[in-house]
Amino acid sequence: MRWAQTSNVGLVRALNEDSLCISPKVGLFAVADGMGGHRAGEVASSVALRILERELGSRLAGGAPPEKALVDCVQEANRYIFEMSGHNPEWAGMGTTITACLKREQELFVAQVGDSRAYLLRDGVIARLTEDHSLVQELVKKGGITEEQAFTHPQRNVLTRALGTERSLKVDLYRAQVNPGDLILLCTDGLTVYLRPEELLLAISAAPDLDLAVQSLLARALACGGSDNITMILVEC
């Protein structure tokens, strides 16, 4: 596997509350987008990924099924962040999204909470692997608005589920078969709030390598305003 990554504060925010995790030995790639004042978002996203990486490696080494291990570790991170927020007033209400991919041979497991995303790019086609836990996604599912309307909706950043905001939560799990040469894009919403899937595909396809593809995506998001932190990992299977 090869990969490239970046995490940028953007042009408006003072802090970068996004985090990313790359653990090739485990086969883990993950992004998280934290929320909360007094640096609480930064704490939530970094703690979530640190716990995920540590616990997942341990459980896989112990023989746990990968899909169960991945979900259990995300839930463990959720409990830990929830308890942290209750012990420090400055961290009250903190939370984070998480999109975590675990690659085991040619099978990909994706755990999802929030509105960060995972995409699969193959043979000139881009497919979204995850579903946002957001108000506008609920409206799309109910037929109230279209995907295009959701892209520009004023409440598109309102989440319906996040890590650390409740003691227990449901973690969505997705599976996909991957082939050599497939690309996996993990990103926070600082990228997808500006770039539609076809624009992501165009930028990646035009770049000669993974590093330049990531830099091209970042430059486009910044050129569109860069109002949020922007984090992504691009993995070649």
* Residues in CB range of 237: below 8 A, 6 or more apart: 1, 103, 106, 178, 179, 180, 181, 182, 183, 184
Q: Residue 74 pLDDT > 90, yes or no? A: yes
3-state SS class at 112: strand
Q: Name the DSSP letter for residue 6.
A: E
Indicate whether this model's pTM tops 0.95.
yes
Q: For residues 103 and 182, give the distance between their C-alpha atoms in angstroms, rounded to a whole number.
A: 12
Q: For residues 199 and 203, give the distance between their C-alpha atoms in angstroms, rounded to a whole number.
A: 6
CA atoms within 13 Å, Cβ hemisphere of 95: 17
pLDDT tier, 156 (very low <50, low <70, confident <90, very high otherwise)? confident
Bridge partners of 108, per DSSP, are 103, 176
Give per-residue pLDDT as tens, 196-211: 999 999 999 999 999 9
Q: Which CATH class is domain 2-228?
A: alpha beta
Q: Which helix (H) or strand (E) holds 183?
A: strand 183-187
Mean pLDDT, residues 96-124 taken together: 97
pLDDT tier, 144 (very low <50, low <70, confident <90, very high otherwise)? confident
Domain boundaries, the chain: 2-228
